[in-house]
A and B are shown apart, each in its own frame.
Chain A
Amino acid sequence: MIMIDPVITALLAIFAVPFIGAFLVGLDRKLTARMQSRIGPPLLQPIYDVIKLLHKEPIVVNRVQIIYAGLHLIFMVLCVVLLALGQDMLMALFILAFSTISLILGGMSVRSPYSRIGSQREIMQMLSYEPILILMLVGIYLINDSFMARDILASGKPLLLSLPLIFPAFLMVMAIKLQKSPFDFSTSHHGHQEIIKGITLEYSGPFLAILEITHWYEIFLLFFIITMFWATSIPVGLLIAAVCFFCEILLDNIMARLTWPWMLRFMWTVALGLAVTNVLWLYI
């Protein structure tokens, strides 16, 4: 991590990250369109969308929603800032979880059955991936003897070589976090599923824009974590991240949606099994 003033680092993280995230979302939409033999929107379409949303009249179902949208954003930004400052990753992960919980509570605060089902499914998603993320950090700790993000380079050896089983488990988590098939239960980018837009259904205008911006931070965060697996050489790390990103999009387009009980079983057996196995040999 380059040693610059922490305040500047924090500001950089706050203002530069969403644009990278928006670019990634745009790329996702473009690639998806091409896979479906469409031309697709311009690369900067997500930014145009958000600007338009921000100019709309604020429409809500109740006032509580707004508070949770704000908390969702602020905790996500905080998580990115903590990582950029090289702080404790476990704490950053907790804060990421609270960002998601705020989204869930926002979805549950309205008297809409669709939104509420979506929220409950989101809780189940958290339940299925949270242990794997913590186990990933345990693995990183066992290699580096530190929870600090700034010490990630300490071992001098790419993490991927020590965490070969945790890496695929993390990719499964990433598919859930990006709301990609087969894991897009709580909401999806396509508004034609049985619970429509699920957890975000009752958000509109500027408040939907807040959720979109938060998603940009989140997508950057996931991309950043993949890159970290080969932090000794950033270009290699980026290449790996790009390949993984492409695979996620491909998977999204060729898979059908399954049910959340299936996801819980799958994540707690296959993904958790992989992560536990990997961590176990690091202990011995």
Chain B
Amino acid sequence: MNGRLRSLGTVLAAPAAALVFALVVGSIALSVVGVNPLFAYSEMLEFSASANSFVSIFNRAVPLYISAIAVAIGFKMLLFNIGVEGQYLLAGLVAAAVGAQLTLWAPLHIVVMLVVAVVVGAVWAGIAGILKTWRGVHEVVSTIMLNFIAFSVVAFLLKNYFRDDPASLNLATKPLPLSGRFPSLNPVLEFFGLEPASGFELRGYLLVAVLLGVLYYILVWRTRFGFDLRASGLNADAALFSGVKPKRMVVLTMLISGGFAGLVGMGQVTGFFYGYTQDFPRFLGFDGIAVALLGRNHPVGMGLGALIIGFLRRSSQILDLRGVPREVTVIIEGVVVLAVVVAYEVVNRRVQAAEVKAAAEATQRPGGVAEAA
């Protein structure tokens, strides 16, 4: 029995089953409003199979993925960072404001902005970590409250300090100089024969997301810190007895989660708005929770989850044009997340039952270890 193959199978089987279930529910919803589900689904697929859609899906998936990682790091030790929303907005604004003031060698310019974003996100999340360890405030309560504070702080800073042109109706930071702009990956797409229309630019920030995914994996599964983190989530008492300092873990994890959260919106800052504007996308923090659940906190799983959500959001656009209520995709989105949570439970139980059986067989027969190997 190959452990890795088995765990990959588990990771994939559950979301696949959940997706099918969600499509069935979506079909029922479509049928109720008098639309042939097959028609709707084939329209969505067809629409998505274009270079433009490819770009759009990935651009949508990138911030969702980073947001999911930020949430997942907390989940790994049963710490619920509901405040990714406020953390990325505040971080995006401050990083954009700082970036606009700099003139540096291009890569360094971007790195400095990203570092600023990480620090701002970490500090904002760290407040919740300290409140929890110092005064026992539950992080769900404090991070939600910190979200509201962040929304107001962002509005206040943007209006009073970071606004580029007070005369203009457009509430935005000063545009980033060219050196602070992340190049697009469209040349690479063209190399592979994909030619998206103008306005569809695959943001180079995708590479940062991939890097963060790898970093997340290494941090959680390959380091001592990650072991302490996972042990705390799996069994807090056992972690304590193994020498983990729970308070230190809470603060550290909040800081790291917030650091990742700070990077959620930086793709848009450096690759689309070239600054922070009023139109900056919202709700990526909350969507990240759904993606983390969908991908079971697994770096690959969350990538697929982010792409699925990206696909549903992109392809819902065609439904409008075809006179189909696009809310159907929102239903599918919701159902798929719920179904995935249930499906993982079922799969997990099966895997554990199989393990118990295998171990029992090995135990009962003397020499069974050798036979089973």
Interaction A to B: no
- A-contacting residues of B (Cβ < 8 Å)? none
